[in-house]
A and B are shown apart, each in its own frame.
Chain A
Amino acid sequence: AAGVIQSPRHLIKEKRETATLKCYPIPRHDTVYWYQQGPGQDPQFLISFYEKMQSDKGSIPDRFSAQQFSDYHSELNMSSLELGDSALYFCASRLGGSSYNSPLHFGNGTRLTVT
C-alpha cells in the first residue's frame, strides 16, 4: 500500500542556508502534519494543513513556513538555518481533518543536518 513519502531522506546544509522539505501524503489524504524530532527528543508538532489551509500551528519558528498544494502535498521551507534545526522532520497524513477518528500515518522523515 502507498505510504507517506518524504523527500529528501537526508539533507546537509550550512548555517544561514535555506532548505525545503517535501511531503507527499497517502493518496486521498487531505490533512498533513509536520513534526520535528530533535536528537533524543519526542516529536514536536510544528504545523498542520487541512484542505490546503493551515489548520493548526505549534512550535514552528518564524524562520519556517509551510504550505499545502492543490494535490495535497506539502512543503516545509526553512530559512536562516541554525545548528539547533538539526533534527528529523516527520510528515504525517490522515483523511478528513481533525474531526475524523483516523490515525496519523507517518513518513520516514527527512534528517536535516546543519553544519
Chain B
Amino acid sequence: AQSVSQHNHHVILSEAASLELGCNYSYGGTVNLFWYVQYPGQHLQLLLKYFSGDPLVKGIKGFEAEFIKSKFSFNLRKPSVQWSDTAEYFCAVKNNQGGKLIFGQGTELSVKP
C-alpha cells in the first residue's frame, strides 16, 4: 500500500536558519508529489507540487523541494526561515489511479523570533 513518511515530528529553528523537512514515499509507479502547509487555525494550503520535468520545484514563500526518484524522496527546503513560517507541513502523494492524496504524518515547525 502507498504510504508517506515524514521523518521529523517537530522541528524548532531560529529565524534565518535553513530548513529541510524530509519526506519519503513508497510507491513504485508514477506519482505526483505535494507539500501542503497548515498555519495555526487555518486550512491546508498548497506550497508546491511536482508532476514531471525539472525535479527541483519552487513554490510560494521561498520554499522549494527536490524530487529524487532513486531515493523515493521529496524533501522540502527553505534557505532562511521566518517566524511566520511557524506551521504544520504535510507531504502528500497521489498516484495516477484514484486521485486521492495520501498524507504524511506532518511536521510541526516552530520558528523562534
Using a CB–CB cutoff of 8 Å, the interface residues on chain A facing chain B are 31, 33, 41-45, 48, 50, 55-56, 58, 90, 92, 94, 97-99, 101, 103-109
Contacts of A94 in B (CB 8 A): 99
Q: How large is the interface on B (under 10, 10 to 19, 20 to 34, 35 or more residues)?
A: 20 to 34
- The answer to whether A108 touches B97 (Cβ under 8 A) is no
Q: B67-111: which have CB < 8 Å to A?
A: 90, 94, 96-106
- The answer to whether B44 touches A48 (Cβ under 8 A) is no
Contacts of B51 in A (CB 8 A): 101
How near does chain B come to A44, taking the closest CB pair, in angstroms? 8
CA distance A101 to B46 in the complex (A): 14
A98-B97 in contact given A42-B90, A42-B103, A42-B104 (Cβ < 8 Å): yes
CA distance A107 to B94 in the complex (A): 19
Choose among B43, B49, B98 the residue that contacts A108 (Cβ–Cβ < 8 A): B43
Dominant secondary structure of chain B at its interface with chain A: loop
How near does chain A come to B96, taking the closest CB pair, in angstroms? 7
- The answer to whether A108 touches B42 (Cβ under 8 A) is yes
- The answer to whether B99 touches A97 (Cβ under 8 A) is yes
A42-B43 in contact given A48-B99, A58-B100, A98-B97 (Cβ < 8 Å): no
Which chain A residue has the least Cβ–Cβ distance from B108? A40
Choose among A41, A42, A56, A101 the residue that contacts B98 (Cβ–Cβ < 8 A): A56
